[in-house]
Structure 1
Amino acid sequence: MTRYLLRRLFLMAFVFLALSLLAFSLSYLFPGDIVQNLSGLRQIDDSQRQQLISYYQLDHNILQQYLAFLTRIAHGDWGQSFASQQPLLQEIQLLLPATLELASYALLLSFVIGIPLGIVAAFKPDSFVGKSISAIAMVGYSLPIFWWGLLLIMFFSLALGLLPSAGRIGVLYEIPHSSGFMLYDILLADIDYRSEALYNALQHLLLPTIVLATFPTTVMISFVRDAMLNVWEQNYIKTARAKGLNRGQVLYRHGLRNALLPVIRQIGLQFSTLITLAMLTEVIFSWPGIGRWLIDSIYQRNYPAIQAGLLVISTMVITINMLTEILHAFFNPLARRG
């Protein structure tokens, strides 16, 4: 296990090195003034320019500039946003919890729905229920997320008026910012309208969570179904059934334990997909997360924000994937051998 961890840590270090080189090179690849791209300042006079050139070590070789870039990133100096003229790290700290909250609930929903439906579809694959679940999974896999989100807004928000179509909470509720996670902040807040605010926040969360969870749920159904069918053909399953155990006992004692082991790896893979799909979902539902902020930065040609957003999202995806790989290897000795 130690050797496996060292290999994975070396691989993660190499990936982070490549990511930092890409993020560093963006300042030179973006159009415009290199000093403005690095600092995020719009108006720079001659004396300030010389100070910034010295600060960013632009008068040194490229290696020293790269090392200075890593030093600034480590100390939290990520520059300023062209749009708001605010420190980028401060903006990211305010927006990132909203994206993590939405992605986490969508991932939880996909597991809660996808795993049981996958097991049911594998339990009787040729039955009407099994074929219906597989067909629904195929349809859900093919749904364009922007069309699906707008369809739910038209039906539940505009036609029925049951659910809100934008934002994280109603404008009537003022919640003190503590962690950035809305539901957790509501529970911590010392307010008289906690239950009303919590209900309103859950209403705002429901539609974007359903839209974002649709794709990973269909993937989870297909993955669990195929894993269960594969395990069901193994010799130890046939031996257990030959001993007299019924189908339910074999499924509970032997099938689930082995079929759901690869699901651990799916956590990282689906989380990466959720972060990507969250950008579209946040735009559709006006969700104030880092995905919507990054897309707005692209439209605004806010180059320092694009660089910072790429660095944050890529780091988060790489870290989650690596942690799930290590966790999967911890429970599966065959993965360590591979």
Structure 2
Amino acid sequence: MIKLFIRYINLMVITIFALVLLSFMLPFFFPGDLLTNISGITPQSLEQRQALEKAFALNESIFVQFQVYLSNFFAGDWGVSSVSQLNLYDEIAYAFPATLELMLYALFVATFVGIPVGFLSGLKHHNPADMGVVTFSIVGYSFPVFWLALVFITLFCLQLEWLPMSGRIDLLFEVKHITGFVFIDIILSDLNNTKEAIENAFRHAILPTLSISIVTTCLFIRFTRRSIMDVMQKGYIIAAKSRGFTQWQIFIKHSFKNALIPILPILALQISTLVTNAMIVETIFSWPGIGNWLIQAIYQQDYPAIRAGMLVVALFVLTLTITLEFITRAIDPTKDETARAAV
């Protein structure tokens, strides 16, 4: 276990170093003034330019500049936006919880719908209901996320007028930004109409969540179905049946845990997909997350914001993916041995 932990820590450190190095190099490839690309500030005088060059060590060697960049990054000094002139650390800290919130909603739906449906389909495989589930999972996984989002807007917002088409909550509700998670902030804001605010925020979250979760739900259904079908053919399951255990007892005592183990790596692989899909959906639904913020930065050619935002998203995906992969290997050490034997 200790060797496995050290190996994953080394992998994370090396990958983080590569990402930070790439982020450091980006301003040299952006068009325009290098100093503005790094700091986000357009110097208005020679004295200001010299002060900024000294602050970012632009007159020093590239190694000193990288050291200064590392020091500033880990200190939370990420510069300012060249458009809004606001601190980038504060802007990202404001936008990122909204993206994380949307991902958690989608993951919750995918987990508590996809996995149970997959189990039921796998236990009763090759019957008409199972064929319907398989068809739905294949079709649902084939739909592009942006297309689903546009269809939902057209149907539920424009035609039926059941749900709102943009934002996290109506502007009528004065919700303070405390944690960045809208439902928590509603409760902490101590509003007079808390119940109405929660209901309004829930209605705003439905369509973005469905747009992201359908693809992941369909993937969970397919892998869970295949996993439970494979487990039910194992020798210890056949032995349990011969001893007179019911199918429900076999499922609870033997099948459930063993069928879940192969699903954990799929969850790790889905992190990057969830982040990408969330960023796309945020733009369509005007959800104030890091994806929408980054798209606006690209449109406005806000290079310091692009640099900081891309690095934060990459570090987030890397950390979650490696952590889930480590947990998977720790739970099922035989997976690593099987992979090495196969090689």
Aligned to 1:143: 143
Query: What is the deviation of 1:6?
Result: 0.4
Alignment of 1:211-222 (within 5 A): 211-222=211-222
Distance 1:279 1:42 in 2: 29
**Counterparts in 2 of 1:105 and 1:182: CA distance versus 1, 3 Å:** same
Aligned to 2:281: 281
Query: What is the deviation of 1:62?
Result: 1.1
Aligned to 1:293: 293
**Structure 2: which amino acid aligns with 1:302?**
D
Q: TM-score, normalised by structure 2?
A: 0.96
Instruction: Check whether the contact 1:107–1:270 (CA below 8 A) recurs between aligned residues.
Output: no
Distance 1:226 1:57 in 2: 56
**Structure 1: gaps of 5 or more residues:** none
Query: What is the deviation of 1:317?
Result: 0.4
**Structure 2: gaps of 5 or more residues:** none
Instruction: Check whether the contact 2:178–2:185 (CA below 8 A) recurs between aligned residues.
Output: yes
Deviations 1:101-126 (A, max 9, x none): 01111111100110011112211221
Which has the larger displacement, 26-35 or 232-241? 232-241
Instruction: Check whether the contact 1:12–1:322 (CA below 8 A) recurs between aligned residues.
Output: yes
Alignment of 1:1-338 (within 5 A): 1-335=1-335, 337=337
Query: What is the deviation of 1:155?
Result: 1.3
Query: What is the deviation of 1:336?
Result: 5.4
**Structure 2: which amino acid aligns with 1:132?**
G
Deviations 1:238-286 (A, max 9, x none): 1111222232222221111101123233333222211111111001111
**Structure 2: which amino acid aligns with 1:13?**
V
Distance 1:225 1:166 in 2: 35
Instruction: Check whether the contact 1:107–1:271 (CA below 8 A) recurs between aligned residues.
Output: no
Q: How many residues align?
A: 338
**Structure 1: which amino acid aligns with 2:29?**
L
Q: TM-score, normalised by structure 1?
A: 0.97
Distance 1:257 1:193 in 2: 44
Query: What is the deviation of 1:228?
Result: 1.1
Distance 1:212 1:132 in 2: 21
Query: What is the deviation of 1:161?
Result: 1.4
**Structure 2: which amino acid aligns with 1:56?**
F
Query: What is the deviation of 1:43?
Result: 4.1
Instruction: Check whether the contact 2:95–2:288 (CA below 8 A) recurs between aligned residues.
Output: yes
Distance 1:257 1:325 in 2: 17
Instruction: Check whether the contact 2:81–2:305 (CA below 8 A) recurs between aligned residues.
Output: yes
**Structure 2: which amino acid aligns with 1:217?**
T
Distance 1:223 1:304 in 2: 41
**Structure 2: which amino acid aligns with 1:200?**
N
Distance 1:189 1:77 in 2: 29
**Structure 2: which amino acid aligns with 1:319?**
T
Identity %: 39
Instruction: Check whether the contact 1:173–1:197 (CA below 8 A) recurs between aligned residues.
Output: yes
Instruction: Check whether the contact 2:43–2:49 (CA below 8 A) recurs between aligned residues.
Output: no
Distance 1:149 1:2 in 2: 45
Query: What is the deviation of 1:64?
Result: 1.1
**Structure 2: which amino acid aligns with 1:328?**
T
Distance 1:291 1:45 in 2: 35
- RMSD of aligned residue pairs (Cα, Å): 1.2
**Structure 1: which amino acid aligns with 2:242?**
A
Distance 2:40 2:283 in 1: 24
**Structure 2: which amino acid aligns with 1:263?**
I
Distance 1:111 1:266 in 2: 12
**Structure 2: which amino acid aligns with 1:190?**
D
**Structure 1: which amino acid aligns with 2:158?**
L
Instruction: Check whether the contact 1:106–1:212 (CA below 8 A) recurs between aligned residues.
Output: yes
SS state at 1:51 partner: helix
